[in-house]
Amino acid sequence: MERDENKLLGFGCMRFPLLNSEDPKSIDYKSLYEMVDLYLDSGFGYFDTAYMYHGGLSEVALRKALVERYSRDRFTITDKWPSYMATRNEDYEIIFKEQLEKTGARYFDYYWLHNLNLGSYETTKKCGGFEFLKRLKKEGRVRNIGFSFHDGHTLLDEILTEHPELEYVQLQINYLDWNNGFVESRKNYETAIKHNRKVIVMEPVKGGRLSSLPEEAISILSPCLNGESPSSIALRFAASLDGVVMVLSGMSRLSQLEDNIKTFKNFRKVDEEDIKALDRVRQILLSKEEIACTSCAYCTGECPMNINIPGYFALYNSHPGSKDMYKRAARGRGLASECIECGECELRCPQHLPIRKLLKDVRASFED
């Protein structure tokens, strides 16, 4: 994949439209079909899914909305092997075949090891995950290989040094996290470029956080927007970086897709004045930040108490103390006070949040 500034918008398949906002499996297929049609008709064609998205249904939904409705040469599919699930070498082939069956894709254009971090990197080496990826490419079952990454630049440098076969790295890059000491957007980007790797950007709008800004931030950005949305300049920030070949957007509504298409069909790089304005906006947002959750829901998959962690964090940020709204968010789910502090959530959080501690804050706000 080479950089094409007319086709930098990737369709992220983690936030499909839903019939019930509390149920990630309740995919609104009618709306999804409309979005896929518009995206393809607008000249784009890159879809990014994963084994765990939408409670395991993202790959199936992609088959129904895309693979069964369009010829295979109209699109490319990226899928990811769930690195946190590796326990033995045999697991890789089993899950890969399941993913091919669920998507109906026959082969994957791009295939990543999902969310490599310090723990999963060691497990992947031990279980033979890197050898498996190389074999898939050699056999033609995948065309390109790489990994997504949520950790520090020192580990990223180690991985890229030890594994020159990995062609792509998918990184969380947005202007809010650019100098974040945990996410390390800038340092990770610079490390990837140092190793001459192509970069795919995820979370350019930070889970929607950068699409809805306070009035004081909007007033600062207004001269830079030229009538565009706050999401647009967030996407342009990521897409303006050299070496970035795709910018993913997890779109839940047709209007979001339309706005993003407009951004990339009329793409212009951010300039010095834009960067200065974004720096000021970053300081405003950081001063107001409570819990920096992007609602990716990685934390909930292995939670033994079925706690609605991202839902509670969003509520804590927007409506602290609202017990009625908390009751609705907790319907059929574990309460924050029911956390047994097993730590499984923190092992999977891309933002490296101290979730166990934050759940105590949620409990104090909504339950005590």
H/E element holding 257?
A: helix 254-265
Ranges under pLDDT 70 in the chain: 289, 318-319
One domain for residues 148 and 233: yes
d(CA 347, CA 358): 15
Count how many domains the chain has.
2
pLDDT of residue 352: 85
CATH number at residue 239: 3.20.20.100
Number of Cβ atoms within 10 Å of the Cβ of 148: 22
One domain for residues 244 and 121: yes
Q: What is the DSSP string of 312-334?
A: HHHHHHHSTT-HHHHHHHTTTSB
pLDDT of residue 318: 63
Establish if 201 belongs to a structural domain.
Answer: yes
Looking at every residue in the chain, the average pLDDT score rounds to: 93
Q: In the chain, where do the E strands start and end?
A: 9-12, 46-48, 76-82, 108-116, 142-149, 168-172, 198-202, 244-250
Establish if 359 belongs to a structural domain.
Answer: yes
pLDDT of residue 319: 67
- Asked whether 88 and 97 are in contact (CB, 8 A), the reply is no
Distances (CA, A) of 100 to 61, 134, 197: 13, 17, 26
Establish if 293 belongs to a structural domain.
Answer: no
pLDDT of residue 322: 78
**Residue 55 one-letter amino acid:** G
Number of Cβ atoms within 10 Å of the Cβ of 19: 12
One domain for residues 100 and 153: yes
One domain for residues 147 and 202: yes
Establish if 65 belongs to a structural domain.
Answer: yes
Establish if 292 belongs to a structural domain.
Answer: no
Domain region containing 338: 298-366
- Asked whether 53 and 248 are in contact (CB, 8 A), the reply is no
One domain for residues 180 and 274: yes
Establish if 4 belongs to a structural domain.
Answer: no
One domain for residues 130 and 222: yes
One domain for residues 243 and 172: yes
Last residue within a domain, chosen from 237, 266, 287 = 287
- Asked whether 156 and 149 are in contact (CB, 8 A), the reply is yes
One domain for residues 206 and 347: no
One domain for residues 261 and 307: no
One domain for residues 248 and 359: no
One domain for residues 247 and 347: no
pTM of the complete model: 0.85
Q: Encoding tokens for residue 337? A: 């006070």
d(CA 46, CA 237): 20
Last residue within a domain, chosen from 287, 322, 348 = 287
Last residue within a domain, chosen from 235, 261, 287 = 287
One domain for residues 90 and 149: yes
Specify which residues 77 forms β-bridges with: 47
d(CA 23, CA 341): 24
H/E element holding 186?
A: helix 185-194
Is the torsion defined by CA of 293, 296, 298, 300 positive or negative? positive
- pLDDT tens-digit readout, 4-17: 888 999 999 999 99
